[in-house]
Amino acid sequence: MALATVTPPWAYTLQLPQDPRGPGIARATLRTVLLVHGMRDLIDTAELLASELVTNAYRYSSAPYSLRLRGAGRDRVRVGVWDSNPEIPAPFGGCAVGGPSVLAERGRGLQLVRECAESWGAYPIRGGLPGQGGKVLWVECTAPRNP
C-alpha cells in the first residue's frame, strides 16, 4: 500500500519542558520528521543547528520553549526555536562584533550555527500573556548538492 505523502509546506511544533532531556527529545523528533519526509541528507546539519538552538533555549530561559520544523521546498527545512527570554543573543541580533576570544571556553555555538546555516535570523514575539513574548531564533538549511 502506498504511503500518503504530504508535499511541502508541512510543519510540526514540539513544546518542550524545562527538563534536561528536552534537547535530546527535540533531536530525536527532528530526525524522525526529516527521515519520514525524505530529507535524509539534511538530517546531520539540521540536527546540529537545532541542537544548539534548543540547548540554548533550555539553558538561557526559565520556562517551556518550542521547536518548529517546516519543510520549505523538497530539499530545504526551516528550524525555529521559540523561548520566553526576550533577549536576542548578540550573534543573532546584528550587533555582534567579531566572535568569541581565542581563549573563551564558551560562546561558539551560535557562531557555528551561523556558519552552517544557509540563512538565519531572529525576531521578537510581542505580547503580555503567558505563552507570548520572548523571541524566535530561526535557521534554514538545504541538502548538500551532489557533484
Ligand X SMILES: Nc1ncnc2c1ncn2[C@@H]1O[C@H](COP(=O)(O)OP(=O)(O)O)[C@@H](O)[C@H]1O
User: What is the contact surface with ligand X in residues (CB under 6 A)?
Assistant: 52, 56-57, 60, 83, 85, 87, 89, 106-110
The three three-digit cell numbers of residue 20, written as one number: 534536561
Q: Please provide the distance, in angstroms rounded to a whole number, between the alpha carbons at the two ends of the chain.
A: 34
Which residues within the stretch 41-60 sit at the binding site for Mg ion (CB under 5 A)?
Answer: 56
Half-sphere exposure at residue 107, Cβ-oriented, CA atoms within 13 angstroms: 13
Of 105 and 128, nearer to Mg ion (C-beta) is 105
User: Smallest gap, in angstroms, from Cβ of residue 50 to Mg ion?
Assistant: 12
127 alpha-carbon distance from chain centroid: 22
Residue nearest to Mg ion (CB): 109
**Cβ distance to ligand X smaller for residue 71 or 109:** 109
Nearer to Mg ion, 56 or 84 (CB): 56
Strand partners, 65: 16
